[in-house]
Amino acid sequence: MSHYHIKHLEEYYQVYRKSIRNPEIFWEEIAEEHFMWRKKWDKVLDWDFSKPEIKWFDGAKLNITENCIDRHLNTQADKTAILFEPNNPDEGAEHISYKQLHERVCRFANVLKSKGIQKGDRVCIYLPMIPELAISVLACARIGAIHSVVFAGFSANALATRINDAECKMLITSDGSYRGQKTIDLKGIVDEALESCASVESVLVVQRIKSDVNMKSGRDEWLQPLLDQADKTCEAEIMDAEDPLFILYTSGSTGKPKGMVHTTAGYMVYTAYTFKNIFQYKDKDVYWCTADIGWITGHSYIVYGPLCNGATTVMFEGVPNYPDFGRFWDIVEKHKVNQFYTAPTAIRALAKEGIEHIEKHDLSTLKVLGTVGEPINEEAWHWYDDNVGKRKSPIVDTWWQTETGGIMISPIPFATPTKPTYATLPFIGIQPVLMDEDGKPVKANQVDGRLCIKFPWPSIARSIWGDHQRYKNTYFSAFKNMYFTGDAAFRDEVGYYRITGRVDDVIIVSGHNLGTAPIEDAINEHPAVVESAIVGYTHDVKGNALYGYITMKDTGESRNQDNVRQEINQIITEQIGPIAKLDKIQFTKGLPKTRSGKIMRRILRKIASNDTSNLGDTSTLLNPEVVEEIIKGYLK
Ligand code: PRX
């Protein structure tokens, strides 16, 4: 019998050992007993990190939506699958049962087909957190189209880059979106983006805010009338285990975002299995992850993982401070939420508001609390534990990445003793290794190192869309035969892992991954800018905030620096989105560079953190004189 549901620590160790000694036997048992296959696999695992090539359950045939929806229809057709909580609480929640979800996904899938979408076609989804977002994702999977969800906070330019990279044939969007008291003109952003997207043949528009939008004839259509006419059943396309399920973009060290490609069977098995164990989901539980489906957390732990387990998953359209800072707790109370999964940045923002909002609400249904996206500081961890969990709900600090598809290092609640700021132990099947600077594994405990994984797990991304070489260079070249995560970690005396942060040019702001290169590229478009360098510094709420050092052209006229600051943030908002705006902008005469012309970010990082001890030997720089000037101009 397989160990689908782990309940205590000894069982964790026992199952973990089995999953490492005999990965193929282990994953085969899980796959066989808990999923619906149209045909079983020929081989459980085939892999070679040097190519890199990874195949799980090769030869198997399935459709992930039959696992997420159809197979629950016999046993729990009327159970709520998606519980939608709108931005405005007065609008009232919507309960979508498994039966209704089936019908809505099938209708949507038939609309996609009627628009000529076929297996393998890419469909871009640019929607707010409304039911149609989850439904369109599942509708694509139903017919074998590859979805590429773009977070609806991204700008027209960022959207266009992603649409063009994947050559999407269709775009699904809405007239607009609600965000607290604001409305956002999504369709306007889409229209601007599509001016440079030749591949998009049709646009389906969900009506959400009932705004007056421009509909381009021959291209744009309202979704609802099409759904009304569509048939309510749709045969699921039979997919190969390794057929791509979706593309999801993440930032990298260079300007172009990386379209991570996730495939079908392994992703399904791993997200379902991690969901069950890491949230200890039980039949009648209501589970809520506050992420957006535009990020991997939403893909794996709002849509696929929960639905595969027949769970009730909450989708929240709004923001934590609307109508007030008690909104999260109001939702927990109203829907009797049992598992609550959020990000450290949200915890810190709520902690700042004090506990009176919490005290007004009954949070007694909560059993498990989760956090993801960035390291959680000790103070935030304790605030969450004391005030939200009342010290009785274990906190699962889950470390993972867009690239890993599912949670990699995390406690199993009620089994693994938690420790503030530690993601604790590797999940079943995960073999982490810490590497030293010389590229050697460090065996001892109480050490720091670069975090690598030495054996494939079922939901590892298989490639970067259109650029397999970049996939190899980014993840499999730093250390031989290892997947390199880009993170550093500390392993304590009992083998618990604490993630200490990125070691590349990616900065995590409010849980969002931002590459420095695309932001610098955007800034450099300002006509008065010569060059720029962005670094992160510690911020109370956001975890990290962005500090920009910018060298301006001497144009003879003195420009108002505050205006230039505003213009620069405006360009960043247009090119990437408001999440990438700089908190501090310091104008400099030059940037410190090595003799080969490389910007010394290490020095800039220290100055931005107001720590100018140990700057190292700056005399070997090309331009040592700028360092002193930059220190003097430091912005508090
Ligand atoms: O640096 C790690 C950090 O977020 C990165 C991955 O970001 P992304 O692909 O956007 O996925 C975020 C959601 C899975 C990681 O390389 N990170 C994520 N979770 C944690 C974390 N850092 C510390 N602790 C975590 N629990």
Please name the residue that has the structure tokens 């709004």.
318
Residue nearest atom 3 of ligand 1, based on CA coordinates: 374
Residue nearest atom 7 of ligand 1, based on CA coordinates: 401
Residue 444 scores a pLDDT above 70: yes
Residue nearest atom 12 of ligand 1, based on CA coordinates: 373
Instruction: Return mean pLDDT, the chain.
Output: 95
Q: How far apart are CA 369 and CA 353, in angstroms?
A: 19
> Closest ligand 1 atom, CA of 402?
9
pLDDT digits (tens, 9 = 90+) for 119-133: 999 999 999 999 999
pLDDT digits (tens, 9 = 90+) for 537-578: 999 999 999 999 999 887 556 678 889 999 999 999 999 999
Residue 47 scores a pLDDT above 90: yes
Report the sign of the C-alpha dihedral through residues 281, 282, 287, 292, in that order. Answer: positive
Q: How far apart are CA 442 and CA 188, in angstroms?
A: 53
Instruction: Render 586-611 in DSSP notation, one character per residue.
Output: EEES---B-TTS-B-HHHHHHHHTT-
Residue nearest atom 6 of ligand 1, based on CA coordinates: 401
Q: Which of 400, 402, 419, 424 to mutate to test the pocket of ligand 1 (most atoms within 8 A of CB)?
A: 400
> Closest ligand 1 atom, CA of 409?
26
Residue 66 scores a pLDDT above 90: yes
pLDDT digits (tens, 9 = 90+) for 293-337: 999 999 999 999 999 999 999 999 999 999 999 999 999 999 999
CB 269 within 8 A of CB 27: yes
Burial (0-12, 13-18, 19+ Cβ within 10 Å), 567: middle
Please name the residues in contact with 392: beta carbons below 8 A apart, sequence gap of 6 or more: none
Residue 252 scores a pLDDT above 80: no
CB 146 within 8 A of CB 171: no
Nearest to 588 by CA among 507, 511, 522, 534: 534
How many Å lie between the centroid of ligand 1 and the Cα of residue 426? 15
Q: How far apart are CA 326 and CA 619, in angstroms?
A: 54
Q: How far apart are CA 230 and CA 222, in angstroms?
A: 13
How many Å lie between the centroid of ligand 1 and the Cα of residue 372? 6
Cis status of the peptide bond prior to 52, with omega within 30 of 0: yes
CB 428 within 8 A of CB 277: yes
> Which pLDDT value is given to residue 556?
59
Q: How far apart are CA 159 and CA 145, in angstroms?
A: 19
Helices (H), 184-304: 186-194, 223-229, 265-278, 296-298
* pLDDT confidence band for 253 (50 / 70 / 90): low
C-alpha count within 13 angstroms, C-beta hemisphere, residue 146: 22
Instruction: Render 235-267 in DSSP notation, one character per residue.
Output: PPPPEETTSEEEEEEE--SSSSPEEEEEESHHH
Residue nearest atom 23 of ligand 1, based on CA coordinates: 375
The CB density around residue 322, as the number of other CB atoms within 10 Å, is: 16
Residue nearest atom 22 of ligand 1, based on CA coordinates: 374
> Which pLDDT value is given to residue 437?
84
Residue nearest atom 21 of ligand 1, based on CA coordinates: 374
3-state secondary structure of 395: strand
Please name the residues in contact with 426: beta carbons below 8 A apart, sequence gap of 6 or more: 16, 408, 409, 432, 497
> Which pLDDT value is given to residue 555?
59
Nearest to 67 by CA among 110, 108, 33: 33
Please name the residues in contact with 11: beta carbons below 8 A apart, sequence gap of 6 or more: 3, 415
pLDDT digits (tens, 9 = 90+) for 463-521: 999 999 999 999 999 999 999 999 999 999 999 999 998 888 899 999 899 989 889 98
Nearest to 552 by CA among 585, 577, 581: 585
Nearest to 27 by CA among 4, 10, 7, 52: 4
Give mean pLDDT, residues 35-54. Answer: 98
How many Å lie between the centroid of ligand 1 and the Cα of residue 373? 4
Residue nearest atom 18 of ligand 1, based on CA coordinates: 373
* Domains, in order of start, for the chain: 1-319+394-502 (3.40.50.12780), 510-635 (3.30.300.30)
Q: How far apart are CA 184 and CA 409, in angstroms?
A: 37
- Please, which residues bridge with residue 240 across strands? 61
pLDDT digits (tens, 9 = 90+) for 575-627: 999 999 999 999 999 999 877 777 888 899 999 999 988 887 787 788 989 99
- Please, which residues bridge with residue 501 across strands? 488
Q: How far apart are CA 89 and CA 297, in angstroms?
A: 24
pLDDT digits (tens, 9 = 90+) for 326-370: 999 999 999 999 999 999 999 999 999 989 999 999 999 999 999
Residue 1 scores a pLDDT above 70: no
pLDDT digits (tens, 9 = 90+) for 77-117: 999 999 999 999 999 999 999 999 999 999 999 999 999 99
How many Å lie between the centroid of ligand 1 and the Cα of residue 344? 11
Rg (CA), the chain: 24
Q: Which of 292, 374, 421, 503 to mutate to test the pocket of ligand 1 (most atoms within 8 A of CB)?
A: 374
CB 483 within 8 A of CB 476: yes
Cα 236 from chain centre: 27
Please name the residues in contact with 632: beta carbons below 8 A apart, sequence gap of 6 or more: none
Looking at residue 623, its amino acid is N
CA angle 608, 612, 615 (to 5 degrees): 105
* 605 backbone dihedrals φ, ψ, rounded to 5°: -65, -40
Residue nearest atom 11 of ligand 1, based on CA coordinates: 401
Q: How far apart are CA 218 and CA 115, in angstroms?
A: 12
How many Å lie between the centroid of ligand 1 and the Cα of residue 563? 35
Can you list the positions of beta strands (E) in 460-521?
Answer: 463-464, 483-491, 497-502, 506-509, 512-515
How many Å lie between the centroid of ligand 1 and the Cα of residue 301? 14
Give mean pLDDT, residues 430-447. Answer: 94
**Can you give the pTM of this predicted structure?**
0.93
> Residues with beta carbon inside 6 Å of ligand 1?
250, 296-297, 372-375, 397-402, 423, 485-487, 499, 502, 508, 513
